[in-house]
Each structure stands twice: as C-alpha cells, then as structure tokens.
Amino acid sequence: TLYVDDKVKPKLTRLGEELRFLLITSGAAVQPLSAAPKGLIPNEHGMSIAVLASEFEKCARCWHRRPDVGQDQQHPELCIRCVGNISGNEEERLFI
C-alpha cells in the first residue's frame, strides 16, 4: 500500500490496476498519507510504503499472487488475466 499526500495521489491513482505492473508487485493500493499506520515514515516525496506478503496462490504464468488463481478448470494453475491472454482475449493496458 502506498500512502501518499494529495499532490502525489492523483498521479498514482490515474494508473489504476496498472500500478502493480509499474511496481512489479501482485497488487498495489493508494491511500491518503493521513491513513498510514503508525511507524511508517514518509519520504521526501510525501509518501510512505507498507509492504505485505500476499496470501494468495501464485500464477504459474505471470507469477502474480492473485485471488483468482485456479478459478478456470482448464487452467487451474493460472490467474484469470493469464487465461484470457493465452486464449486470445488479451488485456488492454493503457500505460504499462
């Protein structure tokens, strides 16, 4: 989770779901800096970062840990995004 000030927040939230690709993580969330847990120290850019290990299964194709891994019976080792990509219904990315 990225806890950011009002100056940074619009820039990051604009990326939407693609923020996780920029950060090379399985997931990413943007929250107000005021909501940061105690103990996180903001850097000079008005941001604090909390990193947590995911409890989800890892997709065998993209290695992202996603809640939807195993939901497709034909490809139980893949996340739904990867199932779509290998079946020709590729995702459309706007930024990354």
Q: What is the pLDDT of residues 65-80, one digit of tens each?
A: 999 999 999 999 999 9
User: Domain check: are 12 and 43 in the same one?
Assistant: yes
pLDDT in the model for residue 43: 84
User: Domain check: are 16 and 42 in the same one?
Assistant: yes
User: Domain check: are 42 and 79 in the same one?
Assistant: no
Residue 96 lies in a domain: no
User: Domain check: are 83 and 58 in the same one?
Assistant: yes
User: Domain check: are 26 and 62 in the same one?
Assistant: no
Looking at per-residue pLDDT, the higher value among 61 and 90 belongs to 61
User: Domain check: are 44 and 61 in the same one?
Assistant: no
Predicted structure pTM score: 0.80
Could you list the residue range(s) of the whole structural domain that residue 8 is in? 1-52
When pLDDT is cut at 50, 70 and 90, the band that residue 96 belongs to is confident
Q: Which residues of 48-87 are buried (b: 16+ CB within 10 A; e: fewer)?
A: beeeeeeebbebebbebbbebbbebeebeebbbbbbeeee
User: Domain check: are 41 and 73 in the same one?
Assistant: no
pLDDT in the model for residue 56: 97
